[in-house]
Amino acid sequence: MKRRTFLIIFLLLFIAELSALLLFAARDTDYTQNAVTVNEVVQSVQSDWHMMDNHKNRTDLDYTVLDADGNILFKTRPGLSETINMAVIHRDTILNIRSGNLITGTIIIYNDSSRLFRSRQQSILAAVCIAMTIQLTVCMAYFLYLNHTIIIPFQGLKTFAERVAAGNFDFPLSMDRHNLFGAFTESFDIMRSELKKAQIAEAKAKADKKELVAKLSHDIKTPAASIKAASEVGAALTHDSKLQDNYAQIICKADQINNLVTNLFTATLEELRQLSVTPDDINSGELEIMLGNADYLHHACIPPIPECMLYADKLRLQQVFDNIFSNSYKYAKTPISLTIAREDCYLSVKIEDYGEGVGREELLHVKEKFWRGSNTGNIEGSGLGLYISDYFMKNMQGRLIISKEERGFIVTVKILLSGLI
């Protein structure tokens, strides 16, 4: 509907401009002197010839009266031609004053055609300027409309797609049914929600797998340990060398079973090492964009960022900030304080909220895989956010520090300065 309105305005404006140009082109301005008015001037001058000191202009024409010797007898205003030569140059109307057959003086009637031309020219220029101003205003309004309905939503879709591609499903895609991408944003957010459910289901399956492996390892290690212990006792009591060799083989196989089960359990804890981290040199100014993307609810005010070069993986660092802000949104739901400063060989980004947070006794566990605090309640989550963030920071030679004040939860992200590796 708005696009149709803009097109109608453009069409009406074009018709108005074309009409104005045709009007000005077809208009024939009469620059000739009015003969009746000129005769009135001549008659009034002739009647007052012998008393020009009392002469008054009774018309709207400007003129100069000269005597036969070229002396000025009367002028309606300053700036008029004062000689015949000046009148010729200016293309003024020159009329003689006669007394019988003698020329007693001259009237120079001012030619104001240039003034009329300039007036008309200024009118045209003003009309063109007004039309251009209206056009510029309409164009700017249309650009802002396109920016609001297409460009900004498209950028939002791009950022959303990058996060989904990186495996981050915690940030919803804001929907606006009034722009062109309204239906798409709703569909994409439904997709994000379904992927989030799949991610949680996958995390639960991994947790169930971990429990199963732990249980099986315990169940297998117990009889294996019993077999080993019984074999050690049998080997110590027998004096038969053949039996001692058999017992030794049993003990060796029991140890082998124990090692295999231990390796199987350890392998489940190493699955997340599949996430690649490739740090590189980046400018600290890019942190402002990352923090702005992470804080999509605008709970924080980004302070000035010291100018320096950092050693980090932009994608993984964005995930770290996304995870931290997402946790604050879900569990604290308070304003967030940001402090950014250089500390030794790191750029420290301190992110603090004012919720209840976890208990001090739980701080040691918040970075463990699949661990969730007692404050989570029924809020959905996989218990992987801070574990993955800590993994990313370690692989970027940085640090993730968790602390707690009387009220609130503090996460400090220490990013290594470039050139220190």
- pLDDT tens digits, one per residue of 8-33: 776 777 777 777 667 666 655 555 66
Which pLDDT belongs to residue 272?
Answer: 47
Fold topology of 280-416: Heat Shock Protein 90 (3.30.565)
Which pLDDT belongs to residue 335?
Answer: 92
Q: In the block, which residue shows the tokens 């574990």? A: 387
Which pLDDT belongs to residue 401?
Answer: 92
* 10-residue averages of pLDDT along the chain (421 residues): 67 73 62 76 85 85 88 87 86 84 86 74 77 80 76 70 71 62 66 78 74 58 70 82 84 75 59 70 93 87 94 90 85 90 93 80 75 63 76 92 83 90 61
Q: How many C-beta neighbours within 10 Å does residue 289 have? A: 13
- Give Cα 225 distance to the centre of its chain: 64
**Burial 319-340, CB ≥16 within 10 A → b, else e:** bbbbbbbbbbbebbebebbbeb
pTM here is 0.43
- pLDDT tens digits, one per residue of 132-179: 788 788 778 878 877 777 777 667 667 767 777 776 766 666 666 665
